[in-house]
């Protein structure tokens, strides 16, 4: 059982970033499909991947994948899988699911068939008729895609975006996983100046500081599989200890966050403190209209407010105009803007975006506009 297959799931558009992360952790033969980064691993890799992957939504343990056109096929093939290797007699297991373009299109029916099949398998193995389900959590997922059934158990529990540092969220915060991806998709590195002039709860900047300091994103939280008997406690303790030792402290960062809203700035400070990066970021209440840039080179990564209501449009136009005024002549600045508002490039006229990536901010399709600045001469 030591050889297992893991699947890091990602939101649309982030597969490549997650693949690079998985590669950087030392995995090879990585298969990528929509929202799925699949790789061979060992039991010890469950703690490692959960602690370290910044941009994936979850890490799933793959139990099996097979064709299923009828409920009988689904039942029999699910029952044939070794669930008892993972789910203990006291295990609490729920079945979630989704079905796309499949003959077995009723996901509720699929879920209930899977649950029945797992129960039947475990009844035989544990020789009992009834399960109390008072123990560790095992969330099984059945995913039907074009008549292929994929069965997994969720090793993460709460989504990986919940790092455990963001107690205080203000209006429309980005998921930490997406914020981290925005940083990894940029040219920023720890030597360079970074500014988010509309930083909200500070997510982009906190993630950047954590990347620079090599702080494992999962260090401050727990995972569902931490309670599983199949994984030695020692594997978790060692993975946590090695993540703790991997933190780099001996350098200074130049990261600045501004927001018009005072509560935002208060939230940023609390969140940064929780994340252990409060000394790395200067947060200050400031309207973007008053932003004054006196450095030749730098990087902006930001996600401006996106107005749904008509009343917001004027305010947003003003933000875009200020942004344009501040950065139109700053050729040494690279700018990375995530917004669902297609008109942003019409306002920021320094140049056409060098690259536009299609991403999703939650369920909202958004563009990540990338404007590359001139390279610094010394750094
Ligand atoms: C979409 S939110 C940013 C969310 C942030 N990325 C996060 O993850 O928490 C946009 C932010 O822009 C701020 N904002 C709105 N108008 C502004 C202005 N004129 N100057 C500076 N910040 C402004 C809002 O207060 C809000 O926090």
pLDDT in tens, 132-183: 999 999 999 999 999 999 999 999 999 999 999 987 667 789 999 999 999 9
Alpha carbon distance 331, 374 (integer Å): 6
* Alpha carbon of 143 to ligand 1 centroid (Å): 37
Taking phi over 0 as left and psi of -120 to 50 as alpha, with beta for the rest, 151 belongs to beta
Q: Which of 168, 200, 265 to mutate to test the pocket of ligand 1 (most atoms within 8 A of CB)?
A: 200
Q: Which of 162, 197, 199 to mutate to test the pocket of ligand 1 (most atoms within 8 A of CB)?
A: 199
* Alpha carbon of 200 to ligand 1 centroid (Å): 5
Position 80 scores a pLDDT of 98
For residues 61 and 4, the answer to whether their CB atoms sit within 8 Å is yes
**Can you tell me whether residue 195 is helix, strand or coil?**
strand
For the entire predicted model, the pTM comes to: 0.96
For residues 305 and 312, the answer to whether their CB atoms sit within 8 Å is yes
Question: Which residue's CA is the nearest one to ligand 1's atom 25?
Answer: 261
Question: Which residue's CA is the nearest one to ligand 1's atom 7?
Answer: 173
Counts of helices then strands in the chain (DSSP H, E)? 10, 14
Alpha carbon distance 206, 176 (integer Å): 9
Q: Which residues, judged by CB distance below 6 Å to any ligand atom, belong to the binding site of ligand 1?
A: 170-174, 179, 197-201, 203-204, 259-261, 264, 287-288, 303-305, 319
The topology (CATH level 3) of 3-154 is VC0802-like (3.30.2130)
**Quick one: 176-216+224-245+252-371 is in which CATH superfamily?**
Vaccinia Virus protein VP39 (3.40.50.150)
- Per-residue model confidence as pLDDT tens digits over 238-249: 999 999 999 999
The continuous run of DSSP H or E covering 347 comes out as helix 344-347
- Per-residue model confidence as pLDDT tens digits over 37-76: 999 999 999 999 999 999 999 999 999 999 999 999 999 9
Residue ranges of domains in the chain: 3-154, 176-216+224-245+252-371
Backbone angles phi, psi at 115, to 5 degrees: -60, -45
DSSP string, 199-216: -TT-HHHHHHHHHHTT--
Do domains 3-154 and 176-216+224-245+252-371 share one topology? The answer is: no
In this model, does residue 311 exceed pLDDT 60? no
Question: Which residue's CA is the nearest one to ligand 1's atom 5?
Answer: 200
Backbone angles phi, psi at 39, to 5 degrees: -155, 155
In this model, does residue 1 exceed pLDDT 70? no
* Alpha carbon of 203 to ligand 1 centroid (Å): 11
């Amino acid at each position: 059982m030591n050889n297992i297959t893991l699947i890091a799931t990602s939101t649309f558009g982030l597969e490549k970033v997650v693949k690079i992360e998985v590669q950087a952790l030392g995995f090879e033969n990585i298969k990528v499909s929509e929202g799925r980064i699949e790789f061979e691993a060992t039991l010890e890799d469950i703690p490692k991947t959960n602690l370290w992957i910044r941009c994936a939504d979850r890490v799933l343990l793959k139990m099996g994948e097979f064709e299923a056109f009828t409920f009988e096929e689904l039942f029999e093939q699910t029952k044939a899988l070794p669930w008892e290797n993972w789910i203990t007699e006291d295990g609490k297991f729920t079945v979630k699911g989704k079905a796309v373009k499949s003959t077995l299109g009723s996901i509720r029916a699929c879920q209930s068939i899977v649950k029945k099949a797992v129960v039947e398998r475990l009844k035989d193995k544990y020789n009992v008729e009834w399960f109390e389900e008072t123990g560790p959590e095992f969330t099984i997922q059945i995913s039907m895609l074009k008549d292929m059934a994929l069965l997994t158990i969720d090793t993460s529990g709460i989504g990986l975006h919940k790092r455990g540092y963001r107690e205080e969220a203000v209006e429309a915060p980005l998921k930490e996983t997406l914020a981290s991806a925005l940083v990894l998709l940029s040219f920023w590195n720890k030597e360079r100046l970074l500014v988010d002039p509309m930083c909200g709860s500070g997510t982009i900047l906190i993630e950047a500081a954590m990347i620079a300091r090599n702080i494992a994103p999962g260090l401050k939280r727990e995972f569902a599989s931490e309670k599983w008997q199949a994984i030695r406690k020692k594997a978790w303790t060692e993975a946590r200890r090695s993540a703790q030792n991997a933190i780099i402290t001996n350098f200074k960062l130049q990261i600045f966050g501004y927001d018009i809203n005072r509560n935002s700035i208060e939230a940023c400070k609390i969140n940064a403190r929780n994340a252990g990066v409060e000394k790395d970021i200067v947060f200050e209440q400031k309207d973007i209209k008053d932003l004054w840039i006196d450095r030749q080179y730098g990087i902006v990564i930001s996600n401006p407010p996106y107005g749904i209501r008509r009343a917001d449009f004027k305010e947003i136009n003003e933000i875009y105009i200020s942004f344009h005024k501040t950065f139109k002549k700053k050729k040494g600045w690279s700018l990375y803007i995530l917004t669902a508002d297609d008109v942003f490039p019409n306002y920021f006229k320094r140049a056409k975006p060098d690259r536009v990536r299609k991403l999703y901010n939650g369920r909202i399709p958004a563009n990540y506009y990338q404007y590359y600045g001139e390279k610094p001469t010394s750094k």
